[in-house]
Amino acid sequence: MANLQVKYLGTEFENPTVLASGVLGVTAATWKSVVNSGAGGITTKSIWLNEHQGHPNPTIITTENWMMNAVGLPDAGLEKAKEEIALYSENKPAPLIASIVAGKKDEFAVIAEEVDKLDVDILEVNISCPNVEDELGLPFACVALDAKSVTEDVKKVAKNKPVIIKLSPNVTNVVEIANACAEGGADGFCLINTLGPGLAINLETRMPILANKVGGISGPAIKPLAVKIVSDVYQATKLPIIGTGGITTGADALEIMMAGATLVGIGTAVFYRGADVFRKVSKEMSDWCDKEGVKSVEELIGTAKV
């Protein structure tokens, strides 16, 4: 059996699959059950400083090829997150990546400083949320200067934990944003957040199906985009990456690792293949490695001849 263990920013993962932020991650009990289903690690739902209401339903629709969501990052805020993280720490079964989010620059530092003190292994900064102080309400992830300054602010206060930045694919040049974050001191990246937004219209009512009208696209349809962005950012920065976006099978996971990812985020595939998708993907990766004579998946990272 091939060795699936990987080391990411100083933390050992039993296998490269991690639960992507926002899917299933509401409670510590769920994180544990996802680890039981074979995940090598967990990413929390994005944590806000204060309670944050999501959008009304419908919030998630799918077809065979994609999922579109406008869940709207609902969260009960930092205090509840602290409770859940403490619960997870009792017999902690696998590493925990804390995703944090904010609508204003200074809030990122406040929440990062708090979460840095908790029993989490890595801070993931979700900067795909609109900056409420930006004139156009552009997400931080879409403006290189904003992405850089958020990274700097978080790095200043996160004294104990590595900081990775989760980037949006919805920009002209992701590498430019990634370079800006790298200059700001980012330790790694999670790539990519959802694509879009997209729009789906119901014919009979002629209305958008999602209550928020538009939503972020995930699932199999965005995989080629994720692979390309991982490859580009890996080449440009050489920083370690969690490759996320449409990963559904072991082959998908191996592909994005060859493009440059160290860990592989899985979200939407929970719908296509069930909560034990993590075990299935790991098994498929290990079978392929055995067949090809690969001793350890770690050897494959960034080996694609792009």
Partner 1 sequence: MNKEQLPIVVPIAKIEDENEIVKNFYFDISIGAKPGQFVMLWMPGVDEKPISVALDDGKQLVLTICSRGKATQEMAKMKVGDKLGIRGPFGTHFLTNEGETLALVGGGYGAAPLYFVAYEAAKQGCKIEFIEGARSEKHLVYMEKLKALENTNIHISTDDGSVGHKGYNTEVLKKVLEDTKVDKIMTCGPEIMMQKVGEIGEEAGVNTFVSIERYMKCGFGVCGQCVVDPLGIRTCVSGPVMNYKVAKMFDDFGQYHRDSVGKKEYFNPK
Catalytic residue from among 129, 181, 190, 289: 129
Contact string (CB under 6 A) for ligand FMN, positions 129-168, x = contact: -------------------------------------x--
Rounded to the nearest 10°, the torsion over CA 263, 270, 164, 262 is 10
Q: Which does 26 bind (CB under 5 to 8 A by kind): ligand FMN, partner 1, none?
A: partner 1
30 binds partner 1 (CB under 8 A): yes
Closest approach of Cβ 47 to ligand FMN, in Å?
9
CB 165 within 8 A of CB 127: yes
30 binds ligand FMN (CB under 6 A): no
Can you spell out the DSSP letters for 160-199?
SS-EEEEEPS-SS-HHHHHHHHHHTT--EEEE---EEEEE
**Active site includes 129?**
yes
244 binds ligand FMN (CB under 6 A): yes
Among 3, 113, 183, 271, binds partner 1 (CB under 8 A): 271
Distance in angstroms (rounded) separating the CA atoms of residues 91 and 93: 6
66 vs 189, beta carbon nearer partner 1: 66
Map residue 299 onto helix, strand or coil.
helix
Q: Could you give the residue ranges of the DSSP H alpha helices within the chain? A: 28-36, 78-89, 105-116, 144-157, 174-183, 223-237, 250-259, 269-273, 277-292
22 vs 38, beta carbon nearer ligand FMN: 22
Give me the residues that bind partner 1 (CB under 8 A), please.
Answer: 23-34, 45, 51-54, 56-64, 67, 71, 74-76, 80, 200, 202-205, 207, 209, 211, 268, 270-272, 274-275
